[in-house]
Amino acid sequence: MTRRISSSDPRRATARPALLSLVMGLTLAPMAASAAPEGRALYVEHCAACHLESRLGANGPALIPDTLGRMYGPKLEDVIAHGRAATQMPGFLEQIGPDGVAAIAAYLAEPLAETPTWGLEDILATRSFRDGYTHATTPVFAADPMNVTLAVEIADSHISVLDGDTFAVLTRFETPFAVHGGPKFSPDGRLVYIVSRDGWVQKYDLWGLTEVGRIRAGLNARNIAISADGKWLAVANYLPMTLTILDAETLTPAKVIDIKGKDGRPSRVSAVYQAPPRDSFILALKDIPEVWEISTLANPPHTGWVHDNRIEGPPDIKRRFPVRKITVDHILDDFFFDQGYEHLIGASRETEQAQVIDLVIGRKVAEIDLPGMPHLGSGITWPWRGTTLMATAHLKEGMISFIDMKTWKTVKRLETLGPGFFMRSHVNSPHVWADVFFGPNKDVMHVIDKETLEIVETLRPAPGKTVAHTEFTKDGRHALVSIWEDDGAVIVYDAATLQEVTRLPMRKPSGKYNVWNKITFAEGTSH
Ligand code: DHE
């Protein structure tokens, strides 16, 4: 087993920044004069052993504004003062007093003095792997492996593996800190890959219920995608501005692609999406008006692919993963795809319109009127009156838009009790489940009729608590809903009667992911 640094590593207490920098292969950026000098001094004394002087994280997570903005649970000062329950993070209030706590928090709010580099060698140096481990050939449990459902619990960085028929917890395993986006399953559903906002990728054998390895693919990552053949993983990074390609079998880095637009301008990657029918990854870019497609085939079928963004990669990978760059009118940073992956719908933060890009011809073919910051990533589709309907929630307005995917016209706007985040349905369900994530009604879940497009029920299972994100079981008979709180729960509903079946206590459960729904790219489930 290669060396691994995790938050539970016992060496954490004695580790020193210099040693960790070496182990992590990090180049420490020279620190610019800080506006919070006392905070910096206290940080170096008390925090750097675990979080590194560079603040890029080691045993403890990275402490940079990009990731701290997504702190789960208590606020930063509270964590510095009192520590974090069920983790190795102790409280420092007694040692440094309230002023010291405030000074460290102020220092951590400062951006990094320099953009750090994170290339192939750096990435490789963080890899820990069970060398010689062979994936389980049969499940070590009796449950239907295709109906297994994962529940991500972000309060204490764990995933509960649920039997999708009995809802028994088969196991609960530790993940990296701050998992974001959907875990991605191998095409046969036997392995799962998880990514954290700190850029750690975890590989887990679902049949063997065993962690296989981890590697830090980026310093501030967005999400992960897996190629149609299950051989390659792509990790979208904000910091540095790269896409990291990993060999899914060994978790070794194959290539780091520097994101530079046609005119050389760098960009963060908002998200990477897998497009199985196209054997490619599609990239949403945060800073430039381009959409990128990266082929995962050894010999891509058509021309238009370029290699100019390869910065590193072993010789056998040199000609792999060429890029096709499509120029678009506006920066598009949140995507939705039709079931055939022929069309991409991209949301623009600059306009009130989404653009429809035909991926075959590589240009815009329509615009959709979509104000209120649509959250396309959690959109869903279903057949409706001879066409396909797409539904998307809006992050800034209490409404859901329904769009005809033949004409790209908005068929209806449905008023809800507040802005929502996630939507879900299932081919066997007549309903769409849509949460109200923000505002005074964050404790409701709307159930909408897929035919009439009207709300038929509004559930309020835990008054005052955030209720969010639904996932269905393989057969669509049950819907699993999160009570998104530290001492929260996953509520299992009978999807037909809308009655509660059971409530499983969990630590701030966020997304749930059913193996079958995900590997079949089922309509109604996020891809
Ligand atoms: Fe997410 C998925 C982007 C904030 C929880 N989120 C995604 C995806 C994208 C995205 C592009 C699809 C990727 C995938 O699944 O592979 N999310 C963004 C943002 O841009 C945004 C608004 C701001 C940000 O800074 O990232 C954002 N997301 C959040 C949160 O605050 C949430 C609620 C809590 C958290 O964990 O950070 C959150 N996002 C999720 C979840 C999914 C997700 C649970 C997967 C949903 C699914 O069903 O697949």
Residue 263 structure tokens? 């005119």
Digit-coded pLDDT (tens) for 463-494: 999 999 999 999 999 999 999 999 999 999 99
Q: Where are the domains of the chain?
A: 11-109, 375-527
| 283: Cα separation from own chain's centroid | 14
- How far is the centre of ligand 1, averaged over its atoms, from the C-alpha of 485 (Å)? 17
Q: What is the CATH number of domain 11-109?
A: 1.10.760.10
pLDDT value for 318: 67
∠ Cα 490 496 500 (to 5°)? 35
Q: Which CATH class is domain 375-527?
A: mainly beta
- Ligand 1 touching residue 374 (CB < 6 A): no
Cα of first residue to Cα of last residue in the chain, in angstroms, is 33
What is the four-CA torsion angle of 80, 84, 87, 90, rounded to 10 degrees?
A: 40
Residue nearest to atom 25 of ligand 1 (CA): 70
Residue in 156, 180, 226 to alter for ligand 1 test, most ligand atoms within 8 A of Cβ: 180
- How far is the centre of ligand 1, averaged over its atoms, from the C-alpha of 303 (Å)? 34
- Ligand 1 touching residue 183 (CB < 6 A): no
pLDDT value for 72: 55
Residue nearest to atom 11 of ligand 1 (CA): 271
- How far is the centre of ligand 1, averaged over its atoms, from the C-alpha of 180 (Å)? 6
- How far is the centre of ligand 1, averaged over its atoms, from the C-alpha of 37 (Å)? 34
- How far is the centre of ligand 1, averaged over its atoms, from the C-alpha of 421 (Å)? 9
Q: What is the DSSP letter of 116?
A: P
Pick from 194, 192, 191, 193: nearest CA to 179: 194
pLDDT value for 112: 85
- Ligand 1 touching residue 396 (CB < 6 A): no
Quote the CA–CA distance of 51 and 20 in Å, as a whole number: 9
- How far is the centre of ligand 1, averaged over its atoms, from the C-alpha of 224 (Å)? 12
pLDDT value for 432: 97
**Segments of the chain scoring below 50 in pLDDT:** 1-32
Quote the CA–CA distance of 61 and 486 in Å, as a whole number: 19
Residue 288 structure tokens? 């430039």
Q: Please return the burial class of 14, using the count of CB atoms within 10 Å of its CB with bins 0-12, 13-18 and 19+.
A: exposed
Looking at the CA of residue 335, tell me the nearest atom of ligand 1: 11
pLDDT value for 57: 81
Q: What is the largest CA-CA distance in the chain?
A: 68
Residue nearest to atom 49 of ligand 1 (CA): 182
Residue 171 structure tokens? 């196991």
- Ligand 1 touching residue 511 (CB < 6 A): yes
- How far is the centre of ligand 1, averaged over its atoms, from the C-alpha of 218 (Å)? 17
pLDDT value for 526: 78
pLDDT value for 29: 39
Run of H or E including 20 = helix 17-24
pLDDT value for 448: 98
Looking at the CA of residue 437, tell me the nearest atom of ligand 1: 33
